[in-house]
Every structure is written in structure tokens, then in C-alpha cells.
Amino acid sequence: MKEPQPPPASEILSSKPFQRRTRFLVIGAGSRGNAYARAVTTTTPGTIHAVAEPRAFKRTEFGRNYIWGNDGQEFNDWREWLKWEVARRDRVSKHSEPASDLAAPASEPVAGVDGVFICTLDETHVEIIQAIAPLKLHILCEKPLALSLTDCLTVYRALQPPSGSGVLPSPPTIFSIGHVLRYSPHNIKLRKLLLEDRVIGDIVSLEHTEPVGWWHFSHSYVRGNWRRATPAGDGSLLTKSCHDIDFVLWLLCSPASAENARVSGQKPHFPRSISSAGSLTQFRPARKPAAAGAATNSGVQLFCGADLQRSALGPGHRGWPVDIVSPDIEDVFRAHGAKAAEKRLMERLGEDYDESLPDEEVAARPWYGRCVFEADNTVCDDQVVTMAWDDEGVAPHRVAKTATFHMVAPTEKQCERRGRVYGTTGEIEYDSTTISIYDFASEKTTKIVIEKPPPERAESHGGGDYGLAGQYVAAVEAVVNEGLDVETAQARFIGCTLEEAVQSHAVVFAAEEARREERVVRWGEWWEEKKSLSSNLA
């Protein structure tokens, strides 16, 4: 490991402002950390300056791809980085350096970072954000923000403390959440057609579906990290589809222009009521095929279509999800060859447990070889959310409408979203690449085919990962190098505030509460009650 050292006095930064490349730390070198780092290094002027990752082989691979050669640094975990960063700032302050002016040339190995990408497991986000909030760094956090509404409000309080006057202060830094669907070229075009061009008039109703994919669900939500509901009962709607709920709200609630809305004071038009129904239908013991017998581990037997090996094993295949099942697969392959890598994969797939292993140990890690009908999964594989809006009599955006969202696991398509929007003058049908507009008056259909991003981008939520990373870096660039105020940069480049990100999550929690209790949630009353948990949230 490269051991970080406090900067000597000769390397303390000059207070003279100058243009430079913005620098970012990535916490968590898994699939999401790599996706954002790839986007930053290939499509933005920013640079990945440091990584914090406990797994040495992941840290080395990440550094090899995105950092080394740029005088970057590596840390065993985010706590080690935090300790180093606090010491660095303390040394700077002792040399009378203004705390807000920590800029240095991109070649400076001991410089700090401007922003952070938090790409760790969902349950760690709150602790990390609370710990680094005093540093006043710009933050992009992978979704979901937190696993409970209480924790989301905790994050809000940490990042936007009260002013003491009862009025919300301006946010001190850029904040972005991993709601990548807002940032794909396809979805940006769809929203422009609906809200700016108004090609179907006022929106009357929307249907949106996320086909998760039978195999993807069995990998991540039956055997993987996201297979168990939280203590509050929230599960796959939060961890898999919170950005789909955000997508629906982005189309139906948010003002067409966040920057204009900031000036005018226009607020989102939230739904009147929210309801939901869903359950775990397929991967449970009652549905286990008779041919499987008493087996609890798939091993290399292919007795059902959900076996991971069926799709994972192939000549030279070491990408997702093989590198998730066996994170060190690339290092094993490089050091010992293909046969050793395949052996390592099969060892991981052969891991199993029985009643003697305490439940907390079972829950603490994924079990990718476990029979999908004998797993400890509890999250829904089929769920529908319904939302209804009141007519506030203000066209075009604050009119009555309805929306349904359907998350379904047993599908051929994997995360290739589709939907239909009904309007007063026409309707739109969309999938991941095409938008079809039917006009009632002319009785004609216009088909728009969105140019496909390059393959590496298309695999990242249709270019959404690249779009989000690009907008986040652009916002930080505007603040750091162009002197734009944070509030304007947040609206112009990110398109939503921290408050809106929390509210978007709150709609997910409201839907889950409605599902569990089999009732209709009245959003206004429900949200007012929940907001009492935090006197800071207006």
C-alpha cells in the first residue's frame, strides 16, 4: 500500500486561485465505484485522485485502472482516509492556509480532494456521510441514500444543518444521489417531449415497468446482498427500484426546469395518495422443484433455470457477476491462469450453511451457490405501486393524473425498462431505445430512435451512470473553478436538491408502508407527520 504522509511545509498550497483539474475520492471499489470512476476518467475533466477500499486486490485493480500515474493515493478504508485528511487539513491550518482554499496543482501528491463518491453497501452510507460532512466536500452517494426514512433525515441534518433563524440555509456543498435514470440520453429526451414540447398535451396517466430479469433477481435479491428486507420491512422496491420511483416523480412532480423553479419558488407537485401491493412469489421453499430433493446448494447441478453457473460460466468470462461472486477472480486468473480461476469460482459457489450457523452470520454475506428455493430471502419479486394526484388547476404541470409502477422479477428482459404515457392530445410508448408518439388529431405515429451509447456506456443504465457522473463533476467544476454558487450549480447540473432526494426516498417508504399495512397512504398527512422527526426539513 502507498503510505500517505502529511505534506511537508514546502508543499503547503498557495492561496492564489487558479484553474485546475478537480479531484475525487472513491469510497468502495466495487461495481458501482468502478462505473463512476470509468465515467469520470473517460468523459470529464475531473480525475480520480484516491480510493478507499478494504480488499487489497480490488484496491490494486482500481488504482491500476484509474489512479496510478496521477500521483493518487490508496487507503485501506474510509476511516483511514478520514484520519489522514483531518491531519492534512490540520497541517495546512498551522501554516495559515485558509481552510476553504485547499487547491493544488493536479500533480501534487499530497493534495486533498474536492469531492467524494460513496459506493459502499447501502447500510454504511449514513455513517460515512455523518463522518465526512464536517469536511464540507461535495458528495455523490450511490442509491439508496439510507435504509430508513429516519436515517435519510439524519443525512439531511448532517449535510444541511439549521441556520438558527428558522429559515433553511443555502446548501454548503453539491450533493447528488445515484438516481441515474434522470441522466440517460433516452430519458432526458422523453422528459423534454413530455414537459417542454408537450407533444401529448397534459399528462393524464403513466405506466412504468422495470423488468428485473429472472436471473438477475436470483443472483442479487435471492442469494446476494439485497435479499433480506430491512427491520422495517423495506426491501427490493428501495434497493432495486428507488430510482424508478424517482424517475416517475421526475416526470410527473418536478418542475420542468430546476433552475427556473429555484428562482420562481415553484415546488414539486406531489401525489395525493400512494398505495402498493406485492409479495415474494417464486423463490421460496413451497415452490421448490421435486427433482431438487433435499439439496440446499446448487453446486454444479443444473436442475433449475436459476442456477448462477448456467449464465456465469463461459470461456474467459470474468466480468459481472463472476467478479461479484469471486471478487479476486481477476487476480487469480492473472497469477495462475484460467483453470485456477474456474476452480476458485466453483469453490465460492460450493459454499453453504446449515442450522448450526448463527443467523447473523448467514445474513452477513451472500451465498451465491445456495439453492434459490432454500435461501433466506424475504424481499418482493413482484410489486405494483399506484399514485394519484389532485388537480390544482394550474396547467400544464399541476393537474390531476395517475401513475403505476410495476417491478417484476421473472422476465426475459433484464432492467430494460418500458412504459406508456397517456395525454390529452396523444400518447407515448417507450422502451430503452425507442420513443413512439401517437397524435390523436392526425392519427399518425412518430417514432424516435435514440442513438445508442457506446457499449460500455449502454451497459451503465443506458448511459445514465456517465450522465450522472458528468453532471456531478460539472457542478463541482463550476463551484471550484468558475466561482458559481452552490445553489445555482446544484439546480443547473444536478437538477434536484438534497431535500427533493430525501422526499423521493420518502415516497418509496410510504409505498412500502402502504403495502405492509394494506392501506392507502395520504401523502400530505403522512409526510407532515414524518417531517416532525426533523424540525429542519421544510
What tens digit of pLDDT does each residue of 186-218 get?
A: 999 999 999 999 999 999 999 999 999 988 898
Do residues 243 and 390 share a domain?
Answer: yes
Do residues 350 and 385 share a domain?
Answer: no
Question: 290 pLDDT exceeds 60?
Answer: yes
Do residues 207 and 128 share a domain?
Answer: no
- The residue from 329, 363, 397 where one domain ends is 363
Question: 2 pLDDT exceeds 60?
Answer: no
Q: What is the pLDDT of residue 379?
A: 95
Q: What is the pLDDT of residue 331?
A: 80
Q: How large is the greatest C-alpha to C-alpha distance in the chain, in angstroms?
A: 74
Q: What is the pLDDT of residue 216?
A: 86
Q: What is the pLDDT of residue 163?
A: 57
Do residues 34 and 68 share a domain?
Answer: yes
Judging by beta carbons within 10 Å of its beta carbon (0-12, 13-18, 19+), is residue 54 exposed, middle or buried?
middle
* Percent of all residues in the chain with a pLDDT value above 70, rounded to a whole number: 83
Do residues 81 and 162 share a domain?
Answer: yes
Q: What is the pLDDT of residue 313?
A: 45
Do residues 154 and 70 share a domain?
Answer: yes
The reply to whether 481 falls in a domain is: no
- The residue from 177, 208, 242 where one domain ends is 177
158: cell is 448532517
Residue type, 105: P
Average pLDDT over residues 466-471: 95
- The residue from 128, 149, 177 where one domain ends is 177
The answer to whether 230 and 247 have CB atoms below 8 angstroms apart is no
User: What spatial distance separates the first Cα and last Cα of the chain, rounded to whole Å?
Assistant: 46
Measured distance CA(311)–CA(304) in Å, rounded: 12
109-161 pLDDT tens trace: 457 899 999 999 999 999 999 999 999 999 999 999 999 999 999 999 899 86
479-531 pLDDT tens trace: 999 999 999 999 999 999 999 999 999 999 999 999 999 999 999 999 999 88
Do residues 191 and 243 share a domain?
Answer: yes
**What is the DSSP pairing of strand 175-177 with strand 401-408?**
unpaired
Do residues 350 and 384 share a domain?
Answer: no
The reply to whether 487 falls in a domain is: no
**Domains identified in the chain, total number:** 3
Which among 511, 510, 505 has a CA at the least distance from the CA of 537?
505
Q: What is the pLDDT of residue 393?
A: 73
The reply to whether 472 falls in a domain is: no
The reply to whether 446 falls in a domain is: yes
Question: 342 pLDDT exceeds 90?
Answer: no
Measured distance CA(206)–CA(405) in Å, rounded: 8
To 10 degrees, what angle do helices 329-336 and 56-66 make? 80
Do residues 198 and 137 share a domain?
Answer: no
Which among 78, 24, 79 has a CA at the least distance from the CA of 52?
78
User: Could you tell me the CATH number of the domain that includes residue 78?
Assistant: 3.40.50.720
Q: What is the pLDDT of residue 335?
A: 84
Measured distance CA(373)–CA(306) in Å, rounded: 10
Domain that holds residue 315: 285-363
187: cell is 430519458
Q: Which long-range contacts (CB under 8 A, 24 or more apart) does 188-195 make?
A: 188/467, 189/435, 189/448, 189/450, 190/251, 190/428, 190/430, 190/435, 191/250, 191/251, 193/428, 193/435, 193/437, 193/448, 194/251, 194/421, 194/423, 194/428, 195/251, 195/256, 195/396, 195/397
Do residues 198 and 269 share a domain?
Answer: yes
Measured distance CA(48)–CA(50) in Å, rounded: 6
Predicted confidence band of residue 293 (pLDDT cuts 50, 70, 90): confident
347-373 pLDDT tens trace: 888 889 999 999 999 999 999 889 989
Do residues 236 and 316 share a domain?
Answer: no
The reply to whether 373 falls in a domain is: no
* Percent of all residues in the chain with a pLDDT value above 90, rounded to a whole number: 60
Q: What is the pLDDT of residue 455?
A: 64
Q: What is the mean pLDDT of the chain?
A: 85
Do residues 413 and 264 share a domain?
Answer: yes
C-alpha pair distances (Å), 384 with each of 276, 380, 458, 514, 528: 6, 10, 27, 11, 24
Q: Is 293 left (phi over 0), alpha (psi -120 to 50) or beta?
A: left
Question: 45 pLDDT exceeds 90?
Answer: yes
